[in-house]
Amino acid sequence: MDFDAPEEHALLRDSVRQFFARELPETQIREYDQARKIPREIWKRFAEQGWLGLSIGTEHGGSNADVLTGAVLCEELSRQFPSLAMDWVLLSMTARTFREHGTEAQKAEYLPRLAQGEFIMAFGMTEPSGGTDILGLTTRASHDDDCWTVNGQKLFTTFAGDADAILVLCRTDPIENEKRARGLSLVLTPRQQSGVEVRRLQLMGMRAGGTSEVFFDDAIAPGDALVGERGRGWYTLLSSLDEERILSAAIYVGITAAALDIALQYAKDRAAFGRPIGAYQAVQHPLADVATELTQIRLITEKAAWLLSNGRPCAEEAAMAKLAASETAIRCTDRCMRVLGGYGLVEESPLERLFRDARLGPFSPISNEMVKNFLGERMGLPRSY
C-alpha cells in the first residue's frame, strides 16, 4: 500500500496556493463573500489554469483528469474559498453530464465552452416540496412544435443567477406502474428569457455561491435541449452521485485543514500569562483532536476517490466520506473558533467564514440522515425510506 501522493498532485496544490496568493487574496475573497457573488471573470482565470477542463476529455479541450485529482483541487480551493469550490464542483458535474450523456453535437457545442469558462450552467433539481424526495417533483416540461415548454419552481439552485442555462430535472412523461423514477428528463433551459425568473437566496454560509430559487412560467427550450434519454433523467443523475459526494467531502476536508492552520498559528502568536496560549493543554488537546480527525477524513475521501478513479464500486465509501467530512468540519471549526475566542467572530478572520460555510455540509448535496439510511440499507438492514 503506497501512501505517497503523486508528484502532479503536489504541483497542483502549489499552483492553487500560488494562484490565490497572486490573484485572489483574503481581502478580495471577503469582498466577494460579502457581496454574495463571484465575478464571472474568475472562471476565465480558472480556465487559463486548466481547472475548468479537469473532467473534460482532451478531444474537447480538457485534461481528462481522474476524480482523485479533482478531489485534490477541490480541497485546496476550499482551504481558501469554499464557495468557489462548491461552484467548481457544480461546473465539474455539468461537464460530466454532457461528457457521459450528451449527444455528439451537444459535446461539441458545450464541452469546449465549459473548459474555456465561456458557458456556465446550473442544475435545477430541489423543489419547495422536497429535496431528498426528489422523485416527487412537480416541475413539468411538454414537447410541441419542436420546442420544450417548462413550468414549475426550483429551490436552492446554485449559479442560477449567473448561468447561461439551467439543466432542469422535470417530468416529461406520466408515472408508469407507480415507478416515480421513470418519466423524468433533463431539459437544458436558457436562462435569459421572460419565462425564467431568478430570486437570490440570502444564505448564512457559502454566501458567494449564488444560490437561488427559480420560477419557470412557460419557459422555452429548443427541441434538442434534452440531455440524455427522455424519461431517464433520474438514472442519468444517479451515475454522478458518487463523484458528487466525494468532491463534496473534499470541500469539508479543505475547510477543516484551513481552520486548523488558522488556529495553530493563533495559538503560537497569542500570549496569555506570559506564555503562548498553545503551551496550555486546554488549547493543545482540541487542536490535536482536529489534526487527528482531519487525517481520518482525508484518508477516507482519498480512498473513495481512488476507487472511483480506478473504476471500482465506491458507493458506500463515497457516502461515508461525505458523512464523516461534513460532520467533522462542523466539530472542528467549532473547536478552532474557541481557540481564537472573540477574534474568530470578526469578519476579518477567515475562520468566521469557514465556520459559516461548514454549516451547509450536513444537508447538501444530500442530508446526512439520508446518507445513514442508505448505509444502513447497504449493511443489510430494512429499508427505512
In this structure, the strands spanning 165-171 and 121-124 are: parallel
pTM score: 0.96
Rounded mean pLDDT for each run of 10 residues along the chain, 385 residues in total:
85 97 96 93 95 94 95 98 96 91 95 95 89 84 93 94 94 79 93 96 92 96 95 90 96 98 98 96 98 98 97 96 98 98 93 97 93 96 90
Tell me which amino acid residue 142 is: S
Copy the grid coordinates of residue 266: 493563533
Q: Which residues contact 53 (CB under 8 A, 6 or more apart)?
A: 47, 60, 61, 62, 63, 95, 114, 115, 116
Q: What is the pLDDT of residue 178?
A: 66
Structural domains for the chain = 7-119 (1.10.540.10), 122-230 (2.40.110.10), 240-378 (1.20.140.10)
Would you say 74 and 46 are in contact if contact means Cβ atoms under 8 Å apart?
Answer: no
Residue 132: count other Cβ atoms within 10 Å of its Cβ.
Answer: 14
The pLDDT assigned to 326 comes to 98
| Residue 132: CA count within 13 A, CB half-sphere | 13
The b/e string for 62-100 (b: 16+ C-beta within 10 A; e otherwise) is beebebbbbbbbbbbbbbbbbbbbbbbbbbbbbbbbbbe
Check the CA dihedral 79-84-86-89 and report its sign.
negative
Query: Which runs of E-coded beta strand occur in 209-263?
Result: 211-222
Give, in order, the Cα–Cα distances in Å from 366 to each of 69, 71, 132, 201, 245: 23, 18, 7, 19, 8
Structure confidence at residue 145 (pLDDT): 82
Longest dimension (CA), the chain: 79
DSSP annotation of 209 reads G
Rounded alpha-carbon distances, angstroms, from residue 13 to 58, 70, 268, 300: 22, 11, 25, 19
pLDDT tens, position by position, 213-261: 999 999 999 999 999 999 999 999 888 999 999 999 999 999 999 999 9
In the block, which residue shows the cell 430541489? 126
pLDDT at 177: 62
Please tell me the predicted confidence (pLDDT) of residue 94.
87
Question: Alpha-carbon distance 13 to 198, whole Å?
Answer: 35
Q: What is the pLDDT of residue 135?
A: 81
pLDDT at position 132 = 74
Answer whether 304's CB lies under 8 Å from 314's CB.
yes
| Residue 210: predicted pLDDT | 87
